Structure formats: C-alpha cells, structure tokens
Amino acid sequence: MNALAELAATGRIAVRYRVATADVGAVAEAVRIEQTIEYPLELITDGFIRDEVVGQVEDVTQRASGSEFTLSFHPDVAGGELSQLLNLLWGNVSLFECVRVVDVALPDAVLDVFFGPRFGLAGLRVLLDAPHRPLLTTAIKPMGLPAADLGEMAATLAIAGFDIVKDDHGLANQPWAPFRERVRTVSAAVAEANAASGNHCLYMPSLNVPSDRQVEAAYFAKESGAGALLVLPGLAGLDAMRSLADDPALGLPIMAHPSFQGSLVVNADQGLRHGLLFGLLARLAGADLSIFPSHGGRFSFSPEACADIADSCRRPLGGIAPIWPAPGGGMTLERVDEIANFYGLDVALLIGGALHRGNLAANATALAEKVRELGSAPTATMP
C-alpha cells in the first residue's frame, strides 16, 4: 500500500501534488488553505476548524525539479457530493499556474457515496454478448449528412458486427439532422439491422444538448430505442453525467467524451494526471466507457498517459466497478493487434474516419471479424 492509500485507509482524503516552482512548502501551505477555508489561518481560533477542516500537510519532497507534496483532508469537507469533491480536488487550485495533481486516494466514507458506473466492464460484456473480446465502436459522421444517411451508415455498421455506434459528438441540433429526427431515424435503422442480423449493436446518441433539456433528451433517446448515451462531461459537467448514471429508470450505458476537457490534462506542469480525469473521476461520475485520444496519432496522448488511463479505468476502487478505456484516433485494421497488445482485451476500440476509406461494409466486417478472433485466441492475455 502506498503512502496515499495508507492515508485513505485512516479515513482521510489524500492528494499528491507536483509543483514546478522552487518554494514547494509555501505552495503546500497556500493550497491547503485555498481548497478549504480561504481565510487567514492565524485568525482561526476554533480548534476544530484549524485541526480538522483545514487541509493538513502530510509530506513535502523538495527536488531540483518536480517537487511534490501531499495534503490530506477530512472526508466531510467533500460534503458527500461529487461537485464539492471536484471542487476540493481542483477548484481554486486550478488557477495556480504551477501545480498538477498526480495522485488521489479516497477513503471508503467518500467512495461509498458513489454508485459509479451502472454497467462497467462486466455489465457491458453481458449486455453485448461479448464475454472475452475487445468492444468495437465507432461514430456516424460527417456532420452535415441528413438523418436518413446517418441511419443507413449505422445500419451498415450494426450488420457488420460493431457493438456500439455513436453519434459524432459534434452532432447536436443542427438543421441538417436535428436531434429528435436523428435519434428516431438512427434508432429505428439500428433496431432493424439488429433484427435482421441477430446482432446486439447499441446506438448511442450524443447528449450534446442544452443543460435544461438533458434529462428529457436522455429519455427521448431511450424511448426511441437508443441503447446507450454519449455524454460530454467537459460541457455538461461531470456531476450531470453522474445524475444520468444514477437514474435507475433510465438505465442506459454511458460513454464519456473528452470534449472541452483537454486543458485539464495536456499541460505537463498543470492540471490533473490523465488517469485521474479519464479513469478515477469518470468512474465516480458513472461512465461505463471513457474516450481518450490514443497514442500513435498526430495530436494524441503519450503511451504512458494512455496506460495510466487504462489502468485507472480498471484498477480496484472500493465498490465502484471497473470501466472500459476507449482509445480513439488513428485506429485501423492494421493496428488492432498492436492496440490489443498494449491495452489487453478489456478495451473498447473507437475506430475513426479511416473506416470509410474504400468500402464501409467490407472494412467494418473485417474489423469485426478481427476483433472476434482476438477474443477466441488462446494466447490472448491481459497485460
């Protein structure tokens, strides 16, 4: 058990920060105040507030570069709610230029508040009748196509054997394929394709909708026959995703899209470690699958960041189920073996626009066959 996990085992919220300035001790002092009382510490006369409510410095490690420190917090500071937990982890400190959160450990008292993903790794394997292999997912696109064309494309992918066919996340309520028309049309097309093929493809509309219509849109999707939901937590808010996942009457698998979240992770000296955002927080917020740009593309995460995300999606986390890392970007038939070797079989492959070079049906079928071979190969192992 590492030092953070040991702190969490004592019931404290533990956060490890890396600091790109010389005066790590001063930053640690500033952060423990800024994230809790925002008040001059020397004016606090109440012993409980000074000793329990204010964050405590647990460790300061000064290095020539990349100094680190650990704070711990009373679990009640998080108030039993995801929004305040997020605020505690990365609220005001997000305004500091030189601080990155590199690790978080949560005590059971905090983890137990969250249901996490409704399906997760195991639940989607059952739902999709895919006991061993990677999942195969892609998006209908490009923006500008009418709903009927998007429906035809989705049907082709469903018949080929794709597990999830999602809206491109930028499909919103544009005049070319308005939300309701698109969801109705594509849901019907995928249902028909499933009936004809015996496949279990889920159509996943993008809930890129106004905040005050999100619940209505989610239920409209369900009632139209859509089998899953794509949520953009960088725009909708992580807690809005959590509220959809927690709704038992809705009960649809959720995939998180990283739109608008990039600045939280891509700046080396600032933000959150990749796996914390796309693994830990995605799970607390109820995602069953977590999209990120896989290594190997032109503007993509490093192999280390990708491995961190995959590990953070799947490692033990109290009673919260493991979820599917969904690497996207630059995925082709030729790279499937490489990608499965890197991520293992508990991965949802998100295939991009290259699928459309040549014949879509033939490309999609070849990919689906390739992925099914992976699941039955006796040598397939987890990394």
Which residue type is seen at 61? T
d(CA 189, CA 171): 17
- Taking CB under 8 A as the rule, does residue 211 contact a copy of itself? yes
Radius of gyration of the chain (CA): 22
Q: How near is the Cβ of 251 to a copy of itself at its closest, in Å?
A: 15
- Taking CB under 8 A as the rule, does residue 303 contact a copy of itself? no
DSSP 8-state symbol, 39? S
Distances (CA, A) of 33 to 15, 62, 329: 14, 20, 40
- Taking CB under 8 A as the rule, does residue 251 contact a copy of itself? no
Of residues 3, 52, 109, 321, which one binds a copy of itself by CB under 8 A? 52
d(CA 323, CA 337): 21
Residues in binding contact with a copy of itself, number by CB under 8 A: 85
> Nearer Cβ to a copy of itself, position 27 or 191?
27
d(CA 71, CA 92): 15
> Nearer Cβ to a copy of itself, position 197 or 243?
243
Helix, strand or coil, per DSSP, at residue 138: strand
> Nearer Cβ to a copy of itself, position 127 or 215?
215
Q: Are 363 and 138 in contact (CB under 8 A)?
A: no
CA torsion angle 266 267 269 275 (round to 10): -10
Distances (CA, A) of 37 to 6, 91, 97, 111: 25, 13, 21, 23
How many Cβ atoms are within 10 Å of 71's Cβ, its own excluded?
25
Respond yes or no on whether the N-terminal peptide bond of residue 142 is cis (omega within 30° of 0): yes
- Taking CB under 8 A as the rule, does residue 332 contact a copy of itself? no
- Taking CB under 8 A as the rule, does residue 333 contact a copy of itself? no
DSSP 8-state symbol, 353? G
Q: How near is the Cβ of 106 to a copy of itself at its closest, in Å?
A: 16
- Taking CB under 8 A as the rule, does residue 238 contact a copy of itself? yes
- Taking CB under 8 A as the rule, does residue 97 contact a copy of itself? yes
Q: Are 75 and 9 in contact (CB under 8 A)?
A: no
Stretch 126-165 residues interacting with a copy of itself (CB under 8 A): 139, 141-145
- Taking CB under 8 A as the rule, does residue 87 contact a copy of itself? yes
The number of residues making up the chain comes to 383
* Token pair recorded at residue 120: 């997760």
Stretch 6-45 residues interacting with a copy of itself (CB under 8 A): 30, 34-40, 43-44
CA torsion angle 18 275 380 253 (round to 10): 170
Q: Are 93 and 35 in contact (CB under 8 A)?
A: yes
Which region among 116-124, 151-159, 292-300, 307-315 touches a copy of itself (by CB under 8 A)?
Answer: 292-300
Q: How near is the Cβ of 28 to a copy of itself at its closest, in Å?
A: 13
Instruction: For residue 165, list its beta bridge partners.
Output: 138, 203
Of residues 293, 325, 327, 330, which one binds a copy of itself by CB under 8 A? 293
- Taking CB under 8 A as the rule, does residue 234 contact a copy of itself? yes
- Taking CB under 8 A as the rule, does residue 76 contact a copy of itself? yes
- Taking CB under 8 A as the rule, does residue 353 contact a copy of itself? yes
Of residues 20, 56, 59, 91, which one binds a copy of itself by CB under 8 A? 91
Q: How near is the Cβ of 77 to a copy of itself at its closest, in Å?
A: 7
Of residues 10, 249, 298, 334, which one binds a copy of itself by CB under 8 A? 298
> Nearer Cβ to a copy of itself, position 153 or 160?
153
Which region among 56-64, 92-100, 129-137, 343-351 touches a copy of itself (by CB under 8 A)?
Answer: 92-100
Of residues 198, 248, 299, 381, which one binds a copy of itself by CB under 8 A? 299
